[in-house]
Structure 1
Amino acid sequence: MASYLFGSSVDVDIRFEGEDARKHVDTKGEKEKPMSCPVYYDGESVTGTVAVRLRDGKKLVHDGIKVEFVGSIEMFHERGSHQEFLSLSQELAAPGEMRQASTFDYGFKNVEKMFESYQGINVKLRYYIRVTISRRMADVSQTRDIWVYSYRLPPEVNNPIKMEVGIEDALHIEFEYRSAKYHLKDVIVGKIYFLLVRIKIKHTELSIIRRETTGAPPNQYNESETVTKFEIMDGAPVRGETVPIRLFLGGFELTPTFRDVNKKFSVRYYLNLVLVDEENRRYFKQQEITLFRIPEN
């Protein structure tokens, strides 16, 4: 439920049908204000009610009331820039006067929601209900967000990753991961084989990097953040040693991989293997992995 006061004369309530029974996602709205959004899926109908209440006994003269279901992409580095890739509209009331509180039903049936909701460093993809009361002086408008998840079938082909990294006559390792594609609650399983070690390694760590790309050249922005980093080996390995890797993804705030969403942004994930020697020199190898969402039990 969301209730808003326009000036001192109108109070608007936006509700989603059955929202209390839905899973919710906590996120941030305007001015970093926390908000809780009910979760919807591609193809689901979005229905509910809009209540308009008058305050102080004043009448409301308006040029019509409408409700819209909107999907938009907002680019933070382009101030005020946003693109609506989805816009459905229904009229709630024809122009006239309102002298008492009124509640209107709305319903957007079987809505195709092409993309998953996302809030990142430089971009936000959101879906929301927008109610607009048209008035001669100035329209009043309010929104309330939902959160959209998109499920994908597990890939039919999911080959293991096998790679080598080395420095001639000093270091040679092979590492492999069980697969290249993982669902968000999956486990990354792998091994590192030390075939040649002639440098003094202090420790070995593995991290997951999220890379967000927005815009297009020459105005392209890349932001990388470390989702998690943990030490998989402390001390110097010896030739022939094998180090197992087992990383549970369920404990981290991950999204699916997004590639060229509406030609606006991409979000990719990488496994970053780092070896640090006693002089704090870092040797690393990065490998992209694909993440996807499957239905939760």
Structure 2
Amino acid sequence: MSFFGFGQSAEIEVYLDGQENRKTAEVKTEDGKKERLYLYYDGETVSGKVNVCLKKPGSKLEHQGIKIEFIGQIEMFYDRGNHHEFISLVKELARPGDMIAHSSYPFEFSCVEKPFEVYTGANVRLRYFLRVTVIRRLADIMKEVDIAVHTLSSYPEMNNSIKMEVGIEDCLHIEFEYNKSKYHLKDVIVGKIYFLLVRIKIKHMEIAIIKRETTGSGASTFTENTTIAKYEIMDGAPVRGESIPIRVFLAGYELTPTMRDINKKFSVRYFLNLVLMDTEDRRYFKQQEITLWRKGDKLRKPNLQAPAIMAGTQNLQNTAQQYQQTDDKEDKDEDKEGEEEEVQQPVKEDFLRVQGSQSTDKLDQSGDPFEQREESPKESPENQIHNMTREAGDGQNDNGNDSLE
């Protein structure tokens, strides 16, 4: 990318070390488009070289110095004039002088701290970038190169299931349960809804993943809710004792880890929203917050003994050929016996559990996929029923169902 301006007579190129083999990540830009950037992690060194190329061979470039900066920055879209920098590192590449030929300058930001993940939302943007500046009297020559940063987390030690009874007094009581409260970005949400009392005519039920972005503070707080995904889990009137399974795959959606009070500027939280609609088009919902985190890729360790193993394998193959003819009959007999054992002992798959998915068993009975999970926090005991919230102005007649939160 070139920056053209008055008096500009050189172009800047930034090359990152190992960029041919470095992973890339897709990052959304401010205008909603997507671009692939080189991916880095917290504490990883950012190094490379800067090439300054003169446009006209034989020309001379006078400058007051050349520098490179590594910047971590938060931009509020409603406050364009102010950029909040939480990282600002500077390296001097060249002192003031004259440049008469193409020049290359190495740089290195060793073990640089990158505490937050890149993010572009409705009202805020967090980015990391390298900025190279050739300082001149009239107009500086500048170039910026963005990089992507991901924050990795370990598996949470305490990951209780979410279990709660919700409903409308004397009209509807349901019990819902999700197998965990913390999920990685490629995880699967498994749950179940059990109807304890049904005295209203329900015709539809759905579950949605809601992203809530909060920026600013005090009177200048902005909240943006975005529906990431929506699933219909029931169509028709349920009956007492009916159980509805839930399974939501997160891998196919553009999700980020949960971000809480990032540099005291913004937060990103996720909720599961359970919505019911009755025959009079009144909608009742209950939201439950979940925590999302990014799981690192599993990498196999390199086998340092591979050359020796290959050489030994070749010798074993040559020796085995001498005994192959005498052992063929025994091998065949063993293969037949092994096949018979496999036929007698088929592998049981998890799909066999689908046969009982429509049973009237409650969630806490034996054989349930949640039986190994710990109980929900004490703040939400099983015997406490939480009211569902009805959306305002969604029905014509209330019929006494306004006793909600």
TM-score (norm 1): 0.96
The within-5 A match list for 1:211-290 is 211-290=212-291
Hey, what's the Cα distance between the residues in 2 that align with 1:30 and 1:132?
Answer: 23
Hey, what's the Cα distance between the residues in 1 that align with 2:297 and 2:208?
Answer: 25
Corresponding residue for 1:110?
111
Hey, what's the Cα distance between the residues in 1 that align with 2:114 and 2:221?
Answer: 26
Corresponding residue for 1:169?
170
Corresponding residue for 1:204?
205
Corresponding residue for 2:14?
14
Deviation at 1:18, TM superposition (A): 1.3
Aligned partner of residue 170 in structure 2, secondary structure: coil
Hey, what's the Cα distance between the residues in 1 that align with 2:97 and 2:4?
Answer: 18
Hey, what's the Cα distance between the residues in 2 that align with 1:150 and 1:168?
Answer: 44
Does the CA contact (< 8 Å) of 2:172 and 2:198 recur in 1?
Answer: yes
Hey, what's the Cα distance between the residues in 2 that align with 1:186 and 1:33?
Answer: 26
Hey, what's the Cα distance between the residues in 2 that align with 1:122 and 1:25?
Answer: 22
Letter in 1 for 2:294: R
Residue by residue over 1:94-147, the C-alpha shift from the partner in whole angstroms, topping out at 9 and shown as x without a partner, is 001111111111111111111111111111111110001111112222110111
Residue by residue over 1:192-242, the C-alpha shift from the partner in whole angstroms, topping out at 9 and shown as x without a partner, is 011111111111100000000000011000001000001011111111000
RMSD, aligned α-carbons: 1.4
Letter in 2 for 1:14: V
Aligned partner of residue 157 in structure 1, secondary structure: coil
Moved more, 211-220 or 22-31: 22-31
For the structure 1 residues 33 and 184, does the alpha-carbon distance in structure 2 shift closer, same or farther, using more than 3 Å as the test? closer
Moved more, 279-288 or 162-171: 162-171
Corresponding residue for 1:83?
84
Q: Which has the higher helix share?
A: 2
For the structure 1 residues 29 and 49, does the alpha-carbon distance in structure 2 shift closer, same or farther, using more than 3 Å as the test? farther
Corresponding residue for 1:144?
145
Hey, what's the Cα distance between the residues in 1 that align with 2:151 and 2:29?
Answer: 21
For the structure 1 residues 106 and 252, does the alpha-carbon distance in structure 2 shift closer, same or farther, using more than 3 Å as the test? same
Letter in 1 for 2:87: L
Letter in 2 for 1:17: D
For the structure 1 residues 28 and 268, does the alpha-carbon distance in structure 2 shift closer, same or farther, using more than 3 Å as the test? closer
Deviation at 1:27, TM superposition (A): 2.8
Hey, what's the Cα distance between the residues in 2 that align with 1:139 and 1:9?
Answer: 11
Does the CA contact (< 8 Å) of 2:3 and 2:142 recur in 1?
Answer: no
For the structure 1 residues 264 and 136, does the alpha-carbon distance in structure 2 shift closer, same or farther, using more than 3 Å as the test? same
Corresponding residue for 2:23?
23
Moved more, 23-32 or 162-171: 23-32
Does the CA contact (< 8 Å) of 2:214 and 2:222 recur in 1?
Answer: yes
For the structure 1 residues 136 and 252, does the alpha-carbon distance in structure 2 shift closer, same or farther, using more than 3 Å as the test? same
Hey, what's the Cα distance between the residues in 2 that align with 1:269 and 1:34?
Answer: 22
Aligned partner of residue 275 in structure 1, secondary structure: strand
Identity over aligned pairs, percent: 59
Corresponding residue for 2:320?
none
Larger radius of gyration: 2
The within-5 A match list for 1:23-102 is 23-29=23-29, 34-57=34-57, 58-102=59-103
For the structure 1 residues 30 and 219, does the alpha-carbon distance in structure 2 shift closer, same or farther, using more than 3 Å as the test? closer
Hey, what's the Cα distance between the residues in 2 that align with 1:6 and 1:12?
Answer: 11
For the structure 1 residues 186 and 28, does the alpha-carbon distance in structure 2 shift closer, same or farther, using more than 3 Å as the test? closer
Does the CA contact (< 8 Å) of 2:185 and 2:251 recur in 1?
Answer: yes
Letter in 2 for 1:49: K
Does the CA contact (< 8 Å) of 2:29 and 2:120 recur in 1?
Answer: no
Does the CA contact (< 8 Å) of 2:181 and 2:291 recur in 1?
Answer: yes
Aligned partner of residue 2 in structure 2, secondary structure: strand
Letter in 2 for 1:205: E
Letter in 2 for 1:23: K
Structure 2: unaligned runs, 5 residues or longer: 299-405
Hey, what's the Cα distance between the residues in 2 that align with 1:262 and 1:158?
Answer: 26
Q: Which has the higher strand share?
A: 1
Letter in 1 for 2:211: R
Runs of 4+ aligned residues of structure 1 deviating over 6 Å after TM superposition are: none
Aligned length: 295
Hey, what's the Cα distance between the residues in 1 that align with 2:46 and 2:95?
Answer: 22
Aligned partner of residue 152 in structure 2, secondary structure: coil
Q: Are residues 1:4 and 2:2 paired?
A: yes
Hey, what's the Cα distance between the residues in 2 that align with 1:255 and 1:242?
Answer: 31
TM-score (norm 2): 0.71
Letter in 2 for 1:52: V
Deviation at 1:30, TM superposition (A): 6.3
Structure 1: unaligned runs, 5 residues or longer: none
Deviation at 1:32, TM superposition (A): 5.7
